[in-house]
Chain A
Amino acid sequence: MTHLGMGALRTRKAAALAAVAAASLALAACSGGGGSTNETTSATPGPSGASGTITWWGWTPDTPVAERYIAAFNEVYPDITVEYTNYENADYAPTMSTAFQTGAGPDIFDVSAGGNVGGKQLWGDYAMDLAPVAEEVIGADWRDKFATGYVDQLTYNGSVVALPLGGVAADFFWINKDLFDANGVSTELTTYAELKDACDTFQAAGVQCFTMGTNSTDTFSTELLRTIMSSIDPGYYMKALHGEASWDDPIFIQSIDIMRQMQDDGIIAQDATSIKQYPESNNNFMSQKAAIVQMGTWYAQYAAEAAMTASMEGAGVASPVPFTMMPMLAPDLVGDGIIPAYVGEADYGIAINAETENVEAAKTFVTWLTTTMEGQQTVANAIDLVPALVGVEADWENLGLVSPDIQIPAFKAMFAAAAAAPESRNLYISAETGNAQVIAVQQALADRSMSSADIAAQAEADSIDLPVE
């Protein structure tokens, strides 16, 4: 699953409005100067003379972030109105599917490299080939301007169905540093025993240790399973995806065992099977009821004071005081000394509906956001994505982070590791395989009448792995 529509935020639009305004002002200021990359913003303009209104549907980014993108775009192209609608993950496919069947689809829409929300295999058929558009705008070597692999990851049946907005990486944790400090817990938990001790401490203090939601068809919950598998054998997961190993391998079985042990030891909260990652787990973390959550690079966007305030309000905090959130590598959960690396890929791109009547306006917006330095600077400054365009970096000093002294170096390292992620995240995961693993996690945590081996056998039976591309 990719980074997401952030369910909680959809219900807190009003609360977010003030934050949006503040963030827009701050980022409008920083997008205009300072960053060295901004000197190249004159880059290539998009198709000229376009005007009108285009509709953009996506499960990501959050509406405040999208509005920030659109505001920056309108400074350059005031005659084009972009109307963004954010859908919950679970609502995106039904809405898109129905709309396309009735000819009421959006002009532009999100497409991801894989996964069962916005995967290119689902929506690529409805998109126009953007390769000629990109070549026209930024030249024959346009593919080289993007991060390695991003364009290929959004290519479907030989057609570039979306231009990449940015990348994403996961397989690590986010921690509430303030809670860690207040309870005297080290922010560098490197072993299972240390993690368990930390959870015992949090439990004694009335704080939930690790919040996780599996009561959904989305694949967030499978990321911990993959993290554990990668702790056992870093190459196993991709081998299994490519059919070189089976899902009922002893590694998978051992991973289920470890996950169950984590539940028994109170590391995974008992409510994991009855809540969803969004909104409940997200809210648990944002309301400081939980100290650790497993999310990806997209979570960095909430580290800025304005965004965090809005998120905390959305999580039900009446008078939010922003806290310091930090990425933390997953501990060695197996005890063999292996720390799993990040997994990542192009998060999502923006596609143009092959039947849109606003082609020029759509091309202008999509190419501005994805292929110009100023568009990508706006994306970078949202710290939601790893910028797709090579050479763009967030204007770190002006993002309004809660604790910039410690967060900036950590975030820089995180985004660098994300850009260099050795394995893909969702690219080769078919919907069936993703679903089979969701079921496996639910069975692992909620059904002790099934053995780990039986769970693995069923996962193998239910999986349909994609051929290697």
Chain B
Amino acid sequence: MAASVTASPNSPLVRPAPVKSGGGASRGRHHPTSPGLGWILPGFVVAVGLIYFCIGYLGYISLLPWDWRPRRPATIEGLDSYVRAFDSPLFWTSLKHTLVFFIAAFVVQCIMGIIFAAILHSKVYAGTLFKVLIFVPVVIAPAIMSPVHRRVFAVDGPINWILQHLGMIQVSGTGNRDWTGWISWLLTHIGMGNVTPNWIQPSTSLWVIIAVQIWSSIGMAFILFYAAMGQIDPEVLEAARIDGAGGIRMLVSVVVPHMKPTIVALAILNAITALKLFDFPYLVTAGGPAHSSEFLGTYIYAQLFGVSSHYGYAATLSILLLILALGVSIMMSVSTREVKPGHKAKGVRV
């Protein structure tokens, strides 16, 4: 029966058949308005009961005192916690970090993903091996890689070792590392004279997180772009080539415009990642030093578990995150709809 419903639901030859069995189906014959209720009830109960009840309960906790904890008097104080959040520099700092992270990660992933995809669509020696190497970081859990990243960016880690051997870092008699002449001069003249070759510091820790995230997810961008490039009609490329377009011109003027839906999809993925980001900041920099790599996820976690279990405030921040995520999703959905006509024009059914 299930097969008859799902086999070809869009075919005009298949007329929706009445459900033949099950309690809901039986009732369906007598009450035409609810033929599928019995089938969706379990999922409906889970969705509403578990997810939406939790969201509702979270909203309720957010109205309690900001430092409320279980087993303490629960008196509704209205929107005090929300005012507290909006007054908190840390909340805005976390949002700013989220935005910077999104823009940087998205732009770099687009550029690098397209470049990798373009290169590997040409006949590259050991191309399959490169595909695997690029994609492997995607499947490695952040918890496994974080200690490695901590080591990579350590003061005496591989990056500084390379820079030292390139003559960019010097080690003083005290064992401290510092930039050599021209690097130091350059940093001083761009207002970063206080930045030392210590990557986990307020000036650079956010960029460490961004770099780590890009390393971890560039493979996904590559796969998406690689697949999208494969969908481009060869005749379009051939026409461009006949018109005298070179490789870069074809990439910019033909290939990239055809991948707009993929770029939008990647933007959505990155927006979601940025909003829920927790693992790398927590495990690599602990949101610091001094909150310099704090994100909403780590901020909420710190409020709930890291300081003194401020359930009320953590719930408020979570609700704000939810609202933000909904807003971004709606915005992205609108963008996606705008892209669809172009997508369809390429011959892809939507």
Contact = CB atoms under 8 A, between A and B. Distances in A.
Contacts of B202: 443, 446-447, 449
Contacts of A203: 173-175
B71 interface: yes
Given A125-B69, A125-B71, A270 B290 contact: no
Contact of B286 (A200, A216, A264): A216
A271 interface: yes
B160 to A, nearest CB: 10
B32 to A, nearest CB: 43
Given A203-B174, A266-B175, A442-B290, A215 B200 contact: yes
B142 to A, nearest CB: 16
B44 interface: no
Given A275-B154, A442-B289, A446-B201, A200 B308 contact: no
B153 interface: yes
A266 B308 contact: no
Contacts of B201: 273, 446-447
Given A274-B150, A442-B289, A447-B202, A217 B194 contact: no
Interface in A85-107: 90, 93-94, 97, 100-101
A368 to B, nearest CB: 29
A316 B172 CA distance: 28
A101 B203 CA distance: 39
Interface in B232-257: none
Contacts of B308: 116, 119, 121-122, 430-432
A469 to B, nearest CB: 17
A208 B154 CA distance: 15
A126 B70 CA distance: 10
Interface string A273-298: 11110000000000000000000000
A214 B174 contact: no
B176 interface: yes
B136 to A, nearest CB: 25
B177 interface: yes
B290 A126 contact: no
A270 B177 contact: yes
A125 B68 CA distance: 13
Determine the main DSSP class of A at the interface with B. Answer: helix
A217 B303 CA distance: 12
Interface in A224-253: none
Interface string A392-433: 000000000000000000000000000000000000001110
A448 B192 CA distance: 10
Contact of A270 (B69, B71, B72, B176): B176
A274 B173 contact: no
A216 B284 CA distance: 10
A435 B302 CA distance: 10
Contacts of B155: 269-271, 274
Contacts of B72: 125
Contact of B289 (A119, A214, A449): A214
A101 B194 CA distance: 46
Interface string A436-455: 00010011011111000000
A446 B309 contact: no
Interface in B38-87: 69-72
A71 B257 CA distance: 71
A94 B150 CA distance: 23
Given A125-B71, A431-B307, A271 B156 contact: yes
A138 B231 CA distance: 81
A121 B291 CA distance: 25
Given A97-B305, A125-B72, A215-B288, A274 B175 contact: no
A265 interface: yes
Contact of B200 (A97, A122, A266, A274): A274
B164 interface: no
A445 B290 CA distance: 10
7 shortest interchain CB distances as A-B pairs: A266-B174, A431-B308, A274-B200, A442-B289, A448-B194, A446-B201, A271-B155
13 contacts: A125-B69, A125-B71, A215-B288, A215-B289, A266-B175, A270-B155, A270-B176, A271-B154, A430-B308, A432-B307, A432-B308, A447-B201, A447-B290
Given A119-B308, A208-B175, A271-B155, 5 more contacts: A125-B70, A431-B308, A442-B288, A442-B290, A446-B290
